[in-house]
Chain A
């Protein structure tokens, strides 16, 4: 009942917000909406998309289909959305990686300006973790260990361009210490080697680390968010432990092809905001160690600002690294 009321309110708000393109507004959506995830089914982004898509479909009154198209770090599928008809029926849901495509792939099949924002979805916190027998228990001790002459700690990443890789780069930049980055074809095998004590460190999303931290199989040094997180209340932030301003999250967002009518974008953003209030979404996000963003963030304007800032920051990071 309440969900219904919110849905109605959202619909009304969307109507009020639209100043032009009333025709599209009245009829949208008149057929199922497809959200493309440019990564394999079953991965963290796919999970986020399926949860949000399900909740959005209740609000839109149309089915929301999830399509997976992996390849080239996600840039292939992203390009497909950029080139799709700008009618709001083909959307992209992906993460921070979209900010790095232009820097990483010289042969990018689209221009970043060919995407237009719908809204942010969630910012998944990252955790800096280490093997259980590492001779450091706090960030300060870890920094001392990293800076010992002749040492180069190994840090597992899920491959070039992955969030775990970006975090490792940031850690090198912030500390000035040299790390040996060990790429894996995904977080799973990297975690195997961390539990098996074959690598020293990893910086990965809470989704992939929380269970292992709680089971005592790996050591948590810090979370990469500005504030501590509910699922790991005893783990300090990296920022409070001495690396001021060290912040990175695996943020997820929804985009549409450029040229999508303003009214349709607003309608989609409204549906997204309603979906992010859905109790099932909140509950399942909690199991992933994250929370939905505030409604004010699930808007085109907020994503525009965020995307621009992250792209600038990460392109600079990748440039200094290579």
Chain B
């Protein structure tokens, strides 16, 4: 119901403006994908059914995502449990874990793994010498291995948060009632942390389905949904986007189903821990401590290897594609900063703009959704979460198809680059802003208004400062994930607008590992410096909101 008084306040008009923006930049591109799949002489669905390669690609994506989700849970949950509950030698380096997934470009991870486990990899050769023949790394073996080590940290982060939030007095209560320690853990702790584990596992599932960089390098002849989608996108372009739209629709539907499942699990398994007293980590020594410490450090070190390779490669002399390991140079770095700094500048500008606009937009829209409900705001909520269901490739296709020509031609502009990053990462800002707003009592705002401050001023002077820390943490998350974005921007970029990630991808494609490492190292610095500044200088808990 819209009352006359609503029309006088600014909120309804702001809601409508936000709705228009979301309709144009999210709904319209998605609608274009859906309609394009059924347009043309022969619609995409009948062509898909007639194409065994396409169907296999979809099936393979489902199998891969299921397997990787399982392996990630198998590594992430035990690792989270031991770090949350025990103290042991080497535990401090596990604190680095959440950073790793955020900072290492996936292309470089895949390349590094090839150096270790490819046909001629260090480990492959060693095993071959002692008579063990590994299967080829291209295909299932490589995809599962690399994706597991890239994505298990998401399960780890989710589970650590849940275990630390668990009230250990509950477990003590169970034990004092006569239940054995192991059994009380299973019966009391597991139900409480299970929703978090499942939610992060489903996140991994959706990320594997949408994964672009690792799949491109390692899938080789194995058809995979994300790869065939990208290939269809580049081969069809924006003119007659039938098959890419069909594949994109499949991926959207798949991820949507998973997200609904996720929401259902979260809503069902809600145990409120009123005032949790997290268990104090107990020291664990002797052989058990050594085993746990070694196993945990092994996982972390394996995840860190690509970082070491980049750091060394960035300062290694190369001639064309050949690396001269052991000879050092600053020439690669000189190239990044002096000879060809455009990708660095582009990354900073585009990600900076996307972060700034994204955070302002999410703060305002979240405020509308939670504090100023009207007929429009539920729609703002639904639409702004749509990007969660879009893989980067799908979003890129949507933008190219919608803004290639016509009433709003954006192809070839910087705007479409910013737009790609902005839309893709919008849910981060939205989720974080909404979570804090729930905790700000309405009475504070009402007090300000009753003391004579107009509504907009109250928003800026009272509400916004209270949202400050959450906004800062959302801004950092948006920044890091925007800087490392590849799959959407590689479809929409044009000459002179390549970002650091695109440049790394291109250089690896040209087999210029030394230059790629230099750009990669700078990329990591651009990501990690704001995180360090935020956590050390401003004491912001970056990962809490995730």
User: Bound pair: A and B?
Assistant: no
